[in-house]
Amino acid sequence: MSTTELPATATPLERAVLPPLIGSAVERIDAVEKVTGKAAYAGDIRISRMLHGAVVRSPHANARVLAVDTTRARRLPGVHAVVTGADTAHVKWGAFRPDLYPLAVGRVRYVGDEVAAVAAVDPETARRAAELITVEYDVLPAVLDLDAALADGAPLVHDDAPGNLAHEFAFDRGGADAWFDRSDVVVEGVWQSARQWHASIETIGCTAEWSRDRVTMWVNTQTPFLARQRYATALGLPLRAVRVVQTEVGGGFGGKSGDDNTSVICAILARATGRPVQLVNTREEEFLASRPRIPMRYHVRLGFTSDGLVTAKDIDLVADNGAYTGKAQAVLGAATVRHDALFNYRAVRARSRLVYTNLVPTGAFRGFGNPSADWAVGQAWDLAATELGIEVPDLFLLNAVEAGSVSPHNHRIGSCELKQCIRRAARAIGWYDKRARPTPGRGLAMGVSVHVSGRRSFGDYDGSSAIVRLTEDGRATVIVGEGEIGTGARTTLAQIAAAELGLPVADISVTRPDTDLTTHALGALASRVTYVAGNAVKRAAEQACVRLLDAASRQLGRPASELWVEDGMVHAPAAAPGSGDGDGGRIREPVGAVVRAELYRPGGEPIVGLGSFDNPSEFPDGLRYGNESGAYNFVAEAAEVEVDPATGAVTVLELAAAVDCGTVLNPPLAQGQVEGAIAQGLGMALTERFDWHDGAPTRPTFMDYKLPTAGFMPKLHIEFADSYEPTGPFGAKGVGEIALDPVPSVVASAVADAVGVRVHELPITAEKIFWGMRTGAEDLGKAGGPDAGSPAGADAGARTEEGDQR
Q: In what order do the strands lie in the sheet with 134-139?
A: 107-108, 63-69, 134-139
Strand, helix or coil for residue 667: helix
Q: What's 694's DSSP letter?
A: T
CA distance 716 to 706: 21
Q: Are 744 and 683 in contact (CB under 8 A)?
A: no
Dihedral over Cα of 157, 161, 162, 163: its sign = negative
The helix or strand, by DSSP H or E, that contains position 186, with its residue range, turns out to be strand 185-192
Q: Are 733 and 633 in contact (CB under 8 A)?
A: yes
Residues 6 or more apart whose Cβ sits within 8 Å of residue 507: 474, 475, 476, 498, 568
What type of residue is 661? Answer: C
CA distance 795 to 803: 12
CA distance 755 to 17: 50
CA distance 232 to 488: 29
Question: For 236-355, where are the alpha helices, taking DSSP H only?
Answer: 262-273, 283-289, 328-337
User: Closest Cα to residue 712, out of 754, 751, 750, 678?
Assistant: 678
Beta bridge partners of 720: 659
737 is catalytic: yes
Dihedral over Cα of 148, 152, 156, 160: its sign = positive
CA distance 149 to 157: 8
Integer CA distances (angstroms), 259 to 49, 325, 385, 554, in order: 28, 9, 41, 52
Q: Are 784 and 760 in contact (CB under 8 A)?
A: no
Would you tell me how many other CB atoms lie within 10 Å of the CB of residue 316? 16
Task: Describe the crossing of helices 667-682 and 743-755 by its angle, rounded to 10 degrees.
Answer: 50
What type of residue is 163? Answer: G
CA angle in degrees (0–180, nearest 5) for 190-192-195: 170
CA distance 142 to 791: 12
Dihedral over Cα of 102, 105, 109, 110: its sign = positive
Q: What's 624's DSSP letter?
A: -
Q: Give the active site residue among 737, 761, 801, 802.
A: 737
Active site residues: 737
